[in-house]
Amino acid sequence: MATKPTTRSLLTSKRFAIFSIVTICFVLQLINSLPGINLNGFGIYPRSINGLIGILSAPFLHGSWWHFASNMLPFMVLSWLICQYSVKRFYNVFIFTALVGGFLVWAFGRSNIHVGLSGVIYGLWGFILCYGVIRRSFKSIVIAVVVALLYSGFVWGVLPQRLHISFESHLFGALSGLFLGYKLAKSDKLKSQKTRL
């Protein structure tokens, strides 16, 4: 007889962690596509008090179905790779890069509405690369190499190229991911050394 999944088992499930976020983005994009609806007003609008709400909501909102679709595959791939460490680590990286990267966009970004999951995606990318370089365990190096091969082109996304693309989200997301990757790699390395003593 199949047992009913508990809240704890759901929260520690890789599939639930990733697809719950994808589902939220999908539902919001569906609502945003309805006539007369414009949820993107809840995006990040830099240096505006009202725009602060976007730090929480912007990652889940997208400018179009193409914008939504282009973010989903890299998000799922990078999320799944971080989940190889643990689902808790994925949540930590997601929340940290969304909040810190989002705040930096609010503080320093251009005076436009910034929406989309790409800031978090760049945060996941930056985290994986920096963590692999600093931690230097077999697993972290393999994951970092896979990401470097698959998404080497991301490096161009942190530069201003097109007016309608928020390079600020990419840049500050990547920086927040690099910072967290460095801090956690140092911490994990120290714990590993203490365990061996």
Average pLDDT, the chain: 94
Q: Please write the tens of the pLDDT for every residue from 66-111.
A: 999 999 999 999 999 999 999 999 999 999 999 999 999 999 999 9
Question: 15: helix, coil or strand?
Answer: helix
Instruction: Give CA–CA dist 162/131, Å, rounded.
Output: 30
Instruction: Give CA–CA dist 171/184, Å, rounded.
Output: 20
**Amino acid identity of 172?**
F
Instruction: Give CA–CA dist 13/9, Å, rounded.
Output: 6
**Amino acid identity of 191?**
K
Q: What distance, in Å, lies between the first and last C-alpha atoms of the chain?
A: 46
Q: Please write the tens of the pLDDT for every residue from 12-71.
A: 899 999 999 999 999 999 999 999 999 999 999 999 999 999 999 999 999 999 999 999
Give me the half-sphere count of Cα atoms (radius 13 Å) on the Cβ side of residue 63.
12
Q: Which residues of 123-140 are buried (b: 16+ CB within 10 A; e: fewer)?
A: bbbbbbbbbbbbbeeeeb
Band of pLDDT at residue 195, cut at 50, 70 and 90? confident
pTM of the shown model? 0.93
